[in-house]
Every structure is written in structure tokens, then in C-alpha cells.
């Protein structure tokens, strides 16, 4: 703890020298850790730590704007009901009527006295996956475990569409998890439509506007903030080339290819590729039409290269995980494909704790 705290305080003062010489602050932090086993970040340290955690997210292509992340400091909140209420506010502020703003809300940290709260859902907005008697799944197969857990906790289930928003499952400090319905006005969604065809409306396709990761731990200077939901904006391929396309998600490539009259009897007709393009055109078109912020993979790749240049000009090398940075379609048509990256992990960072991954699958002890 002492060592991690010291490294962080030095990093903060090095990048933001206006806060003055670190010696006095370091002495205070060391004394606080000796007395209590932990220490409290100043609001400035917290905001800096959260922004640098984004900067250090090796899998994220969207880091150009890391320094403009908005930070809601809610460290005084640790009970489930308040967490749920503030998450709804987070979504409203982040959704911003369509002009999506990168935002993080930071709730109480883990301390030796007691754990911070936890959100079990991997994102604030997730679609239910209902398993029917025969094993067929309605909705997002990724969330079947969480859907069953929500029902064990008292959720009655939604209307039964493929896009029913799950309740938040929140565990307050030292409490059992409880489920909370998100208010409708907190959940901004975009109905999908293809620019030249009607299948997306006929199939009732939609997706939510704000991707808010809620099961990762924010680690700053040895302190764990296990409940710190954060969001950027979507890149179209996340929805069009993964969520709606992956065989273990909505698996729409084959039905779409058939609908488009493509020859699905042989891979060599490239029906998957052609269906992917149309699906992704529908996603980008629909978000544009709805006035909701969304990046495309070509633009976001260019921005990432700008980020690399800017950071290098400031004397910082950008680490990255090639397999996550490279978009899931048209990879070599984007400039991020044609180079390698160092993948060293730096702190502060967002990290996956194994128990949080288990909870997000709905496999906890409740």
C-alpha cells in the first residue's frame, strides 16, 4: 500500500506540478496509512487517477479524449439503493439527450473496515437473455445467468422481447444483492433501421446508446474502487460486428444473409461479410438519424493514431493490446492494423477481479 500510494502521488505531482512539492502530501499519506490501513484521495487526485486509468486501458481504441473524462465523486455513497439511484443519474448525464459524454461515477472504495458496494451487471444497461424450456434463448445469450439471478432476487421479468433491459443488481457494503429497475428515462435507446431496407424495423432491432462498464475495479495508488461505472460512446462495430453478429450473441448474420437473398450454401459467396457490412450500415445510419453519438471504426482508428502521436510528444509511450484495438471488420483497411504495440500494464488502471466476473455471469452465492 505505501509503495503504490507513493508511486501514484509522485505521478500526480509530476504531471500536475501546480499541486506543489509531493513531500508534505507523501508524509500525510504514509501517516494516514499507518494509522488506518488506508488513505483518502483528494478530489484532484481522484479525478486524475480516473483519467489516467482510462489512458492506461490497453484494450481501448477511444483514448484520445482521456483527459476530458468527467468525474462524479460519490465516495460517500455505499448503500445499494443510493447506488442504483445515482447510476440512473449517471446514465442521464452521460446520455445527454444523444450527445454522449464520457463519464465516471466513483462510489465508496474498499477499506480495511468494510468493502465498497458492487454492481453485479457488467454494464449498467444489459438486455435479458431468457432461456426457454427447449433451450432456445430470447434476448442476449450473454446475460442468461444474470437474468436468472435477477429473477431469483424478485424481478418479474420484462415483456419478453429480445431487448428487455435488465434491472441493476447492486450489493451495498456488507449487504446482500438487490435488484432495481432502471427508470425508462435513464435508458436512451436507438431503434435500428437500414438506410435502404426494412428488415431492421421488422425484426424490432435496437441497441442502447451508452456503454457503461460497471463490474471493473478502478485501482488508484493501492486503493480499490470496486463500484465505479464509466462510459465512453459506442463504435459501430461493437454492436454491428459483435453484439448482433457473434454466433454466441444475437447471431444475426445468417438470417440477414437469407433475407438479402445471398447464397449461404458456401462460405465463398462471402455472405457473412456482405451481411456484416449491411448490419453495420444500419447501426451507423440509425445512430446518426437519432442524433446519438457513435464513432465508426475508420474515424476511431485515425483518432487512435493521433492519440499515439500526442502522447509520444508528451514523452509517454502508449501501450495497447493489438487484438482488442484492431476493429472486428475491415481490419487491414484501418491504420491501427499495420503496426505492433507494447502491451505493458501501467497503473492507475481498470481491472477485472475474478469474483466480479463470476458475479456478472450471475454465478454468485445468491
- In this structure, what are the phi and psi dihedrals at residue 39, rounded to the nearest 5 degrees? -155, 165
Q: Is position 233 annotated as part of the catalytic site?
A: yes
Distance CA 279, CA 286 (A): 11
Site string for ligand ARG, 32-71 (x = CB under 6 A): ------------------------------x---------
Cis link prior to 96 (omega < 30° from 0)? no
Between CA 260 and CA 239 the distance in angstroms is 20
* Distances, alpha carbon 142 to alpha carbons 60, 123, 148, in Å: 21, 12, 12
Residue 171 binds ligand ARG (CB under 6 A): no
Q: How many residues bind ligand ARG (CB under 6 A)?
A: 10
100: nearest Cα among 295, 303, 300, 293: 293
The nearer residue to ligand ARG, 40 or 353, going by C-beta atoms, is 353
Q: Which is nearest to 153 in space by CA: 165, 139, 170?
A: 170
Comparison of 32 and 321: residue with beta carbon closer to ligand ARG: 321
Give me the least distance between CB of 232 and ligand ARG, in Å please. Answer: 4
Contact between residue 286 and residue 191 where contact means Cβ atoms under 8 Å apart: yes
Q: Annotated catalytic residue: which of 13, 55, 63, 118?
A: 63
Contact positions with ligand ARG (CB under 6 A) in 221-250: 232, 234-235, 238-239, 243
Question: What minimum distance in Å lies between the beta carbon of 358 and ligand ARG?
Answer: 19
Which residues are CB-neighbours of 164 under 8 A, at least 6 positions away?
127, 128, 139, 157, 158
DSSP 8-state assignment for residue 328: S
Which is catalytic among the residues 66, 199, 233, 271? 233
- Active-site residue 54, yes or no? no
Smallest gap from Cβ 125 to ligand ARG, in A, equals: 9
In the complex, the smallest distance separating the C-beta of residue 360 from ligand ARG, rounded to whole angstroms, is: 13
Q: How far is the CB of 154 from ligand ARG (least distance, A)?
A: 26
Regarding 364 and contact with ligand ARG (CB under 6 A), the answer is no
The residues annotated with a catalytic role in the active site are: 60, 63, 233, 238
Q: Under the rule (CB under 6 A), what is the footprint of ligand ARG?
A: 62, 123, 211, 213, 232, 234-235, 238-239, 243
Amino acid at each position: 500500500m505505501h509503495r503504490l500510494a507513493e508511486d501514484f502521488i509522485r505521478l500526480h505531482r509530476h504531471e500536475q506540478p501546480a499541486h506543489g512539492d509531493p513531500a508534505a502530501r507523501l508524509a500525510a499519506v504514509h501517516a494516514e496509512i499507518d494509522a488506518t490501513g488506508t488513505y483518502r484521495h483528494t478530489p484532484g487526485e481522484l479525478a486524475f487517477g480516473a483519467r489516467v486509468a482510462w489512458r492506461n486501458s490497453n484494450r481501448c481504441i477511444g483514448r484520445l479524449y482521456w483527459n476530458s473524462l468527467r468525474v462524479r465523486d460519490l465516495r460517500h455513497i455505499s448503500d445499494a439503493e443510493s447506488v442504483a439511484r445515482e447510476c440512473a443519474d449517471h446514465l442521464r448525464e452521460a446520455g445527454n439527450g444523444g450527445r454522449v459524454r464520457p463519464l465516471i461515477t466513483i462510489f465508496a472504495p474498499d477499506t480495511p473496515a468494510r468493502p465498497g458496494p458492487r454492481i453485479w451487471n457488467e454494464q449498467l444497461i444489459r438486455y435479458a437473455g431468457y432461456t426457454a424450456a427447449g433451450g432456445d434463448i430470447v434476448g442476449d445469450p450473454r446475460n442468461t445467468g444474470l437474468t436468472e439471478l435477477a429473477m431469483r432476487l424478485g424481478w418479474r421479468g420484462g415483456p419478453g422481447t429480445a431487448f428487455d433491459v435488465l434491472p441493476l443488481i447492486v450489493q451495498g457494503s456488507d449487504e446482500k444483492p438487490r435488484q432495481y429497475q432502471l427508470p425508462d428515462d435513464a435508458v436512451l435507446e436507438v431503434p435500428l433501421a437500414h438506410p435502404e431496407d426494412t428488415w431492421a424495423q421488422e425484426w424490432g432491432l435496437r441497441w442502447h446508446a451508452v456503454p457503461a462498464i460497471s463490474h471493473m475495479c478502478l485501482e488508484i495508488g493501492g486503493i480499490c474502487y470496486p463500484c465505479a461505472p464509466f462510459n465512453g460512446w459506442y463504435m459501430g462495430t461493437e454492436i454491428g460486428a459483435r453484439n448482433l453478429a457473434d454466433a454466441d450473441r444475437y447471431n444475426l448474420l445468417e438470417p440477414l444473409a437469407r433475407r438479402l437473398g445471398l447464397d449461404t450454401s458456401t462460405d465463398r459467396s462471402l455472405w457473412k461479410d456482405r451481411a456484416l457490412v449491411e448490419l453495420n450500415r444500419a447501426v451507423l445510419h440509425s445512430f446518426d438519424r437519432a442524433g446519438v453519438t457513435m464513432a465508426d471504426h475508420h474515424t476511431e482508428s485515425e483518432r487512435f493514431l493521433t492519440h499515439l502521436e500526442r502522447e509520444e510528444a508528451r514523452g509517454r509511450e502508449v501501450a495497447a493490446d493489438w487484438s482488442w484495438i484492431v476493429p472486428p471488420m475491415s481490419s487491414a483497411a484501418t491504420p491501427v492494423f499495420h503496426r505492433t504495440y507494447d502491451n505493458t500494464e501501467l497503473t492507475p488502471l481498470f481491472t477485472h477481479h475474478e469474483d466480479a466476473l463470476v458475479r456478472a455471469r450471475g454465478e454468485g452465492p445468491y
